[in-house]
Every structure is written in C-alpha cells, then in structure tokens.
Amino acid sequence: MSDSTLSNEQAQLLLRELSTNSVFRKRFEEKPAAALVELGIPHETVINLNAACLAPVKLADPKLLAEAHTELRTSGVNACLSMISPKLRLDGGSGTAK
C-alpha cells in the first residue's frame, strides 16, 4: 500500500542507531526492511512503507545523520515552546477580561 510512515519516536531511534551503531548501519544499508524490524518497527508498518525507502542504499556520513537526529529531536521541543496558549474569558465576553 506504501502509505505508512515512521512516528517521530521511531525516526529518532533510527537516526540515532544509524549515526552511532556501525553494525546496524551496515545491515540497514544492505537490507533496510530487516533492519527496521530488528529495531522494533512493527512489520505491518515496514511492509507498507514506500518501496523506495526499502531499497539498499549508501547512507550519508554518520555525523550528518547525528545532526539530523539532533534537529528532529529539538524541532518538536521548539514547536511546543512556540505554541500560544489560548486565554479563556470567564466574564461572558462583555467588556475587558478580568
């Protein structure tokens, strides 16, 4: 079906492993689907990923993947910190809020 995606947590785990674990990295380059299942990604998710995501691949330098992991990890925090909290008006909407 190829409409599956990894959750943020799964993507962070994958990037961390690809940037720090050379043995896992080698397995992922040769057989991405098997490596994802080994990482704990549900089989159902893996088989429904886009086929291009599951083809053998030469990965970027581990340092670049570590930077991507850091960016992904901090982007969620930054998004939460930049949210504007709604303000409730308890005066029925007339006049100024108290």
36 with 44: CB under 8 angstroms? no
88 is a domain residue: no
Share of the chain above pLDDT 90, in %: 53
The whole domain housing 52 covers 8-76
Residue 77 has pLDDT above 70, yes or no: no
14 is a domain residue: yes
Segment 26-46 shows an average pLDDT of 96
Rounded CA gap, 76 and 35, in Å? 25
Structural domain tally of the chain? 1
Residue 40 has pLDDT above 80, yes or no: yes
Hey, what are 58's tokens? 């030469």
93 is a domain residue: no
Residue 72 has pLDDT above 90, yes or no: no
Rounded CA gap, 44 and 31, in Å? 16
3-state helix, strand, coil in the chain (%, to 5): 60, 0, 40
pLDDT in the model for residue 16: 93
Residue 98 has pLDDT above 70, yes or no: no
- The model carries a pTM of 0.71
HSE at residue 73, side-chain half, CA atoms within 13 A, is 11
